[in-house]
C-alpha cells in the first residue's frame, strides 16, 4: 500500500520536474537572447541605451521575482489580455534572466583589457568588427563559468512560478502534500529533485572556473 503510494508520488513529481526543466530551458534560452540585447545596450556608445539598460537591470535585481510575476500575471488583464500562468511564468523568468545575464556578460566584456580595443581600432576595425572578432571571442571564454553558475538561479527561480499557479515541481509537491498528508516525504523529494537538477550545474561551473584560473596563471 505504502509502496504504491510512494511510486505514485514519485511519478507525479517526475512530471512536475519535467515542467520545471522545460520552463528553465525556455527562460534560459530566451533570457540569453534578450540578455545579449541588454549587454549591447549596456555597453553602447550613446548614453541613452546605456542608462535604459542600467535602469532595467536595477529594477529586475532590486525587486522580488514574485512581484515581477504578479505584475505580469495581473497586469495583462489591464490591457485586455488573458495571460495564462505558463505564459506569465515564461515571460517573467525570461526578463529576470536577461537582466542578470546582461550584467554578468557586461562584466566579462569589461574584463577584456583596454589595449585589445585600442589595438583592433588601430587596425581600422569598426566597433562591430572589434566586438565580433576581438572582444567577444575572449569575453565568451570568461563568461562560460558564471553563465553556467547563473543557470542554477534560473532553475531555482522557476519554483516561485508555482505561486501564480504554474504546475511545476513545487506546485506538484504542494498538491501531493495536501493529498497524501506526507509533507515531510513529499517536500523532501521535491528538494531532492531540485538538487538533482542544480548540483551538476554548480559543480560544472566550479570546474570551469578552476580551468580558467589555471589557464590564466600561465
Q: Based on CB atoms, which residue is closest to other proteins, 60 or 86?
A: 60
Q: Binding to other proteins by residue 18, rule CB under 8 A? A: no
Binding-residue total with other proteins (CB under 8 A):
41
Q: How many CA atoms lie within 13 A of 195 on its CB side?
A: 6
Contact flag: residue 17 with other proteins (CB under 8 A): no
Distance CA 190, CA 145 (A): 27
Report in angstroms how near the CB of residue 161 gets to other proteins at its nearest.
Answer: 10
Q: Does 166 bind other proteins (CB under 8 A)?
A: no
Q: CA-CA distance, 25 to 168, in Å (whole number)? A: 13
- Indicate the DSSP class of residue 131: I
CB of 217 to other proteins, least distance (A): 16
In the window 134-153, what residues touch other proteins (CB under 8 A)?
Answer: 152
Contacts (CB under 8 A) with other proteins, residues 78-107:
78-80
Grid cell at residue 61: 535585481
Could you say whether residue 5 binds other proteins (CB under 8 A)? no
Cell of 193: 529533485
* 214 lies in the binding site for other proteins (CB under 8 A): no
Secondary structure E strands in the chain = none
Helix (H, G, I), strand (E, B) or coil at 178: helix
Taking the least distance from each CB to other proteins, the nearer of 75 and 113 is 75
Query: Is 9 within 8 Å of 180 (Cβ atoms)?
Result: yes
Contact call for residue 159 and other proteins (CB under 8 A): yes
Say whether residue 170 binds other proteins (CB under 8 A).
Answer: yes
> Do residues 95 and 68 touch, judged by C-beta distance below 8 A?
yes
Cβ at position 163, least distance to other proteins in Å: 6
Amino acid at each position: 500500500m505504502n509502496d504504491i503510494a510512494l511510486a505514485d508520488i514519485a511519478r507525479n513529481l517526475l512530471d512536475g520536474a519535467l515542467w520545471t526543466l522545460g520552463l528553465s530551458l525556455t527562460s534560459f534560452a530566451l533570457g540569453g537572447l534578450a540578455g545579449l540585447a541588454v549587454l549591447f545596450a549596456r555597453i553602447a556608445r550613446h548614453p541613452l541605451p546605456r542608462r535604459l539598460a542600467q535602469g532595467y537591470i536595477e529594477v529586475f535585481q532590486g525587486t522580488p521575482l514574485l512581484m515581477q510575476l504578479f505584475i505580469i500575471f495581473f497586469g495583462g488583464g489591464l490591457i485586455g489580455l488573458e495571460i495564462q500562468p505558463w505564459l506569465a511564468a515564461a515571460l517573467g523568468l525570461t526578463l529576470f534572466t536577461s537582466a542578470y545575464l546582461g550584467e554578468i556578460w557586461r562584466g566579462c566584456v569589461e574584463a577584456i583589457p583596454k589595449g585589445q580595443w585600442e589595438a583592433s581600432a588601430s587596425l581600422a576595425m569598426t566597433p562591430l568588427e572589434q566586438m565580433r572578432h576581438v572582444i567577444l571571442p575572449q569575453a565568451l571564454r570568461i563568461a562560460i563559468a558564471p553563465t553556467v553558475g547563473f543557470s542554477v538561479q534560473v532553475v531555482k527561480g522557476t519554483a516561485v512560478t508555482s505561486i501564480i499557479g504554474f504546475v511545476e515541481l513545487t506546485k506538484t509537491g504542494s498538491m501531493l502534500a495536501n493529498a497524501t498528508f506526507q509533507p515531510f516525504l513529499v517536500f523532501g523529494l521535491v528538494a531532492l529533485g531540485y538538487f538533482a537538477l542544480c548540483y551538476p550545474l554548480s559543480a560544472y561551473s566550479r570546474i570551469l572556473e578552476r580551468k580558467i584560473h589555471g589557464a590564466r596563471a600561465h
